[in-house]
Structure 1
């Protein structure tokens, strides 16, 4: 017979009369050591250790010997589900951060020599407790303690394995989507870290990684011919493609199949940015996912600085910067309170930003400006006089970030984000926000920034941008600026100019409404405003005897070198069946306000509140209410 002799944690064989040796640290401190007795503390006897060393062919016998009670069988109506393979990366064995305010920290530091004290620049605020792989697996299955929850989770896992993990583009289409993501999106927002280059060894994480990449790259015009979820399946619309992927990723996350909390944090943050709600019930899901990502970040203590010699120090800083930026973006998009505050962060934020790659560094520099702008709109900060935040020149920001060699498409996308922040960087007292003549600095900055956004998206770089949600957000702000000019100007020439800009921005949003829900909501509202304006112009010309401007205007012909407004066509300007009135016929009556001649049943006040609220963080989180109102 062959007898297998067990060994301790240091690799020495276990003998019947052998005395256990203390580790080097305990020998120096002359303390009793328990670190070489991990097997005893886990309730494993030497015989069970020997059994665990059986050949791989006896895996079932070994697994039964390692437990004191038999493993419960799965429900009869479901087959046994394969367990995800563990990834041996350092990120999987992430430590749990416990602050000094918790009594657990005192006991943990006194009893566990494996714990590590925080050595951040603020003097240390807690300790890190290492997580072993088995303990991490148990923590993810804590919700299955009760039999009812266990059965429900088994049902959810069965659905995940049969439906959600299979929802993925075929390899040929995924290769194109992955290239789009790597070239246009990952340099600006590297939320997936090194996983995009080195796929996770866990099968579930690898599938979710492919789904996230496909979801992020879907809005790009180049991806239109690759939106499939089956090898021989038909092409899907962007809306259906993104909705299927978003639902699959959310179900996998809710099933609790991830064993790597760092990857779970990345997945939640990426899904928060790239998913698009499909119904009013999902309006707050992106903000909710962002809050869950921040919760995981705080649980792991990623906001606390680590030692410079830590293996994943740079990856941790990059991940923290991504979540911090996402928190500010959600504050602007959805009118939410920021959940990460500088006073609670152990990192030096300026040093973290300076350590990033040039495209991401430039993106974070714009986020810093947005963080200052958000301060204008916090409760109680409304001032009695006009306030405008000074912004650096974007060209100088590019040079300071070392991003001069970044592709023009990425720089143009970040410039759109910069001009969006510029539109929001000025604030007027509430009683002056709807006057005909706004503050000079406010008017000029907003008008120039809005014109630049429209020009970049529609004429300079159509189809070449990095299609983040910041693109439709910027165009929506430009639409609001043109609406305010059209709504409150007393000069017909400026009203006509505002209407042309309003039509151009509506056309741009129309080309994006199949992907971004904000664009779809704004387009529905803007089109109804244009229809009411055309009716009002026709009614005025008929009553006053002016030239009939309600007849259809001939389509605008472009020169051979003139680019269209958007990469997918001008959905409004090139529609031959659309009637577009001309304000020039009303110049004979400069005091005439066309909005006073709207149909009384048309809720103009709701339009004013929605469109002008974009410039004041007022109704960003209520866009779905407007979608329900305007179809």
Structure 2
């Protein structure tokens, strides 16, 4: 029954988000500073502190020198200190001023206080009864946790393993369990552990992930968590691992990324701290996670970057060197991605072909000291590396759809796309870390094969592109119950293949050739009717061509045939071109939901 109550569909998800938005607005209207945390669970941000952590300590706030308050605070407060990110500093760290005691008598009844308590009780009751219970039982969570910390957290260490069970059954610990389960659910090994109640029924990935995503998002929106360090961790992790389910949720991952960046800027995570700071490594790791996520969001969702090097006080090379080898290797790839994104910024379309130089991936592994990484994690990062390689070439707009692309562009894209398809579908099938950049990479590989199939003038290359196109469709189809983009790309690509089969059947009939769109069943040798040898060879010829998926018979008969020019006029081929070829351009990623609406 619990699984039935907490499993929510698309409409329930939208209603829940709107419901908590209304509740949040009501809270803001009733009190200027609502606080849903009780006194005994009030979190203390441990990020920027002088001295020891204790229950009464407050996190410091950063005030830049452009803020007039900084001058007065530095001159009048003994608790302020200058930052160390640059000679002379860029501002000060200041402990917040304690609020003055209220002059209002505690015996005077307050209408606002009673209203506030009533709303708080309603929100807390809903969260504890409907949102926080939505989590995997201990036996299943143990498996999901192992998957996450073996395959995902080493690559993107937004959580520290001991912190997951530091305070059991507290809201933050429950939220971490939910996000960890959400991330691990994409792995094939997790299929038998997608439950939200002991001995409850198994759920589909979509149901399980929708339940967890909506629960975490509702809890964060309600303000139950006030510790900004945990708000950064949870917002960043949810941004990376949640998957929208409808057009209204399309911007949620980007919104969560902006929240993580906002809280990071509020705490001054982007500013360097003293070498002797007890939390320096943790601060560096959180900063690197948010910085990397901001670049990933820019690539996946066509968003502007929110963190800029000119605002950062850290030495990037120092921050990267301080990380564990798997995360260090990811950051090195993200650094390459950051350079590639610059090719796609508005107004930067080149007049001449541009090729961003990339180091050899093997050398990057050595530089990151990542030789001891598991092969599956290395393969996952290699997939991401090849995604960046596909995007690292930019051609002028007038030749973007040319049949003969630039030599460097063609060779780099083709090799990278083949490696992505091979790693995901053959070499490490079912073993990679199923993070969001896996379907993103396969989608790019699909676009490369589509371009070859669509524009090549040589039948052999066109057929080769079609075979790669089919393989990538099957890979995306195996992930479409977890990743929204996979579902969208599969729906569109399958309709393209259907139209191709229709066109081939029609043209084969017009040219007097066997209909290659139909499967020719083999006939046992002893049961074959008496036919002329020529007829036998024709049947075998058609059967072999059909099994191989080749249209080369048709192209041999009409070598300059444009198969796409014979599609049904009602089929919107221009939209397919814009979607699949435009997949190389970050800005079109925001149209995934429009594509899904059109292609079903």
Match of 1:85 in 2: 41
Match among 259, 278, 295 for residue 311 of structure 1: 278
Instruction: Answer whether contact 1:87 1:200 (CA < 8 A) is retained.
Output: no
**CA shift digits 1:162-200 (9 cap, x unpaired):** 111111100000000000011001110001135545524
Match among 58, 63, 71 for residue 106 of structure 1: 71
Report the Cα distance in structure 2 between the residues aligned to 1:354 and 1:553, rounded to whole angstroms.
Answer: 60
Report how far residue 219 of structure 1 moved: 0.1
Match of 2:227 in 1: 260
Distance 1:278 1:309, change over 3 A: same
Distance 1:133 1:609, change over 3 A: farther
Match of 2:461 in 1: 494
Report how far residue 616 of structure 1 moved: 1.9
1:173-188 equivalences under 5 Å are 173-188=140-155
Which has the higher Rg, Structure 1 or Structure 2? 1
1:160-309 equivalences under 5 Å are 160-193=127-160, 195-196=162-163, 199-200=166-167, 203-309=170-276
Report the Cα distance in structure 2 between the residues aligned to 1:249 and 1:471, rounded to whole angstroms.
Answer: 24
Instruction: Answer whether contact 2:188 2:430 (CA < 8 A) is retained.
Output: yes
Match among 492, 498, 521 for residue 531 of structure 1: 498
1:615 aligns with 2:571: no
1:24-103 equivalences under 5 Å are 85-87=41-43, 90-91=46-47, 93-103=58-68
Match of 1:587 in 2: 555
Report the Cα distance in structure 2 between the residues aligned to 1:156 and 1:580, rounded to whole angstroms.
Answer: 60
Greater RCO, 1 or 2 (C-alpha within 8 Å, sep 6+): 2
Report how far residue 90 of structure 1 moved: 2.9
Report the Cα distance in structure 2 between the residues aligned to 1:149 and 1:587, rounded to whole angstroms.
Answer: 74
Report the Cα distance in structure 2 between the residues aligned to 1:243 and 1:580, rounded to whole angstroms.
Answer: 40
Greater share of residues in helix: 2
Report the Cα distance in structure 1 between the residues aligned to 2:451 and 2:264, rounded to whole angstroms.
Answer: 41
Instruction: Answer whether contact 1:94 1:261 (CA < 8 A) is retained.
Output: no
Report how far residue 85 of structure 1 moved: 2.0
Instruction: Answer whether contact 2:165 2:173 (CA < 8 A) is retained.
Output: no
Distance 1:427 1:324, change over 3 A: same
Report how far residue 467 of structure 1 moved: 0.7
Report how far residue 110 of structure 1 moved: 2.6
Report how far residue 435 of structure 1 moved: 1.1
Report the Cα distance in structure 1 between the residues aligned to 2:268 and 2:564, rounded to whole angstroms.
Answer: 55
Could you state the TM-score of these two structures normalised by the residue count of structure 2? 0.83
Report the secondary structure of 1:97's partner residue. Answer: strand
Report the Cα distance in structure 2 between the residues aligned to 1:514 and 1:129, rounded to whole angstroms.
Answer: 48
Report the Cα distance in structure 2 between the residues aligned to 1:219 and 1:377, rounded to whole angstroms.
Answer: 30
Report the secondary structure of 1:456's partner residue. Answer: helix
Report the Cα distance in structure 2 between the residues aligned to 1:147 and 1:389, rounded to whole angstroms.
Answer: 62
Report the secondary structure of 1:551's partner residue. Answer: coil
Report the Cα distance in structure 2 between the residues aligned to 1:96 and 1:364, rounded to whole angstroms.
Answer: 27
Report the Cα distance in structure 2 between the residues aligned to 1:351 and 1:553, rounded to whole angstroms.
Answer: 63
Report how far residue 121 of structure 1 moved: 2.9
Report the secondary structure of 1:542's partner residue. Answer: helix
Report the Cα distance in structure 1 between the residues aligned to 2:339 and 2:520, rounded to whole angstroms.
Answer: 45
Report how far residue 214 of structure 1 moved: 0.4
Distance 1:616 1:593, change over 3 A: same
Report the secondary structure of 1:547's partner residue. Answer: coil
1:315-326 equivalences under 5 Å are 315-326=282-293
Report how far residue 112 of structure 1 moved: 2.4
Report how far residue 82 of structure 1 moved: 6.6
Report the Cα distance in structure 2 between the residues aligned to 1:416 and 1:234, rounded to whole angstroms.
Answer: 35
Report the Cα distance in structure 2 between the residues aligned to 1:407 and 1:518, rounded to whole angstroms.
Answer: 27
Distance 1:346 1:201, change over 3 A: farther
Report how far residue 128 of structure 1 moved: 1.6
Unmatched runs of 5 consecutive residues or more in structure 2: 1-29, 31-35, 48-56, 101-110, 523-545
Instruction: Answer whether contact 1:332 1:617 (CA < 8 A) is retained.
Output: yes
Report how far residue 421 of structure 1 moved: 0.1
RMSD after superposition:
2.4
Distance 1:165 1:394, change over 3 A: same
